[in-house]
């Protein structure tokens, strides 16, 4: 599975579980840590965990497991490391505070229509 295909799968799961303001930034020209950042948020820590649980479950069904998962205990910002794709699921207020989109604004924002076809 390519990093773009993995990104599409992740975005579809997040969209189906009602994640808010899903954004994908292509960062492979800016850093060696990943090809894509997937960023999503919601208004409750319970929903943050539910989103992460569903992404993990759906990808595990396809034989893909995260290398690392951080922040689950607090559920304000959970990071899922899938190697070439890093997933950031935020509580809405935490996302506003850290503004990852601004920090990685030199990356290419991917059109959601391209990911949800």
Instruction: Please state whether beta strands 20-26 and 36-42 pair in parallel, antiparallel, or not at all (unpaired).
Output: antiparallel
**Tokens 């799961």 map to which residue?**
13
> Comparing C-alpha atoms, which of 45, 46, 47 is closest to residue 19?
47
Quick check: 93 pLDDT over 80? yes
Topology of domain 3-112 in CATH is Beta Polymerase; domain 2 (3.30.460)
Tell me the pLDDT band of 115, cut-offs 50, 70 and 90: confident
* Across 23-40, average pLDDT: 96
Q: What is the pLDDT of residues 40-88, one digit of tens each?
A: 999 999 999 999 999 999 999 999 999 999 999 999 999 999 999 999 9
Q: What is the mean pLDDT of the chain?
A: 95
> Comparing C-alpha atoms, which of 46, 92, 100, 93 is closest to residue 72?
46
- The SS3 assignment for 92 reads helix
> Comparing C-alpha atoms, which of 14, 28, 20 is closest to residue 87?
14
Q: What is the pLDDT of residue 114?
A: 83
**Distance (Å, rounded) from C-alpha 87 to C-alpha 101?**
13
């Amino acid at each position: 599975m390519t990093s773009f295909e993995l990104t599409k799968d992740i975005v579809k799961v997040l969209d189906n579980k009602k994640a808010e303001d899903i954004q994908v930034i292509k960062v492979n020209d800016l850093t060696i840590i990943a090809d894509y950042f997937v960023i999503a948020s919601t208004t409750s820590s319970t929903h943050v965990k539910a989103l992460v649980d569903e992404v993990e479950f759906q990808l595990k069904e396809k034989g893909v497991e995260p290398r690392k998962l951080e922040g689950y205990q607090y559920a304000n910002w959970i990071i899922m490391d899938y190697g070439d794709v890093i997933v950031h699921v935020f509580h809405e207020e935490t996302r506003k505070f850290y503004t990852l989109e601004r920090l990685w604004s030199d990356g290419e924002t991917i059109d959601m229509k391209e990911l949800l076809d």
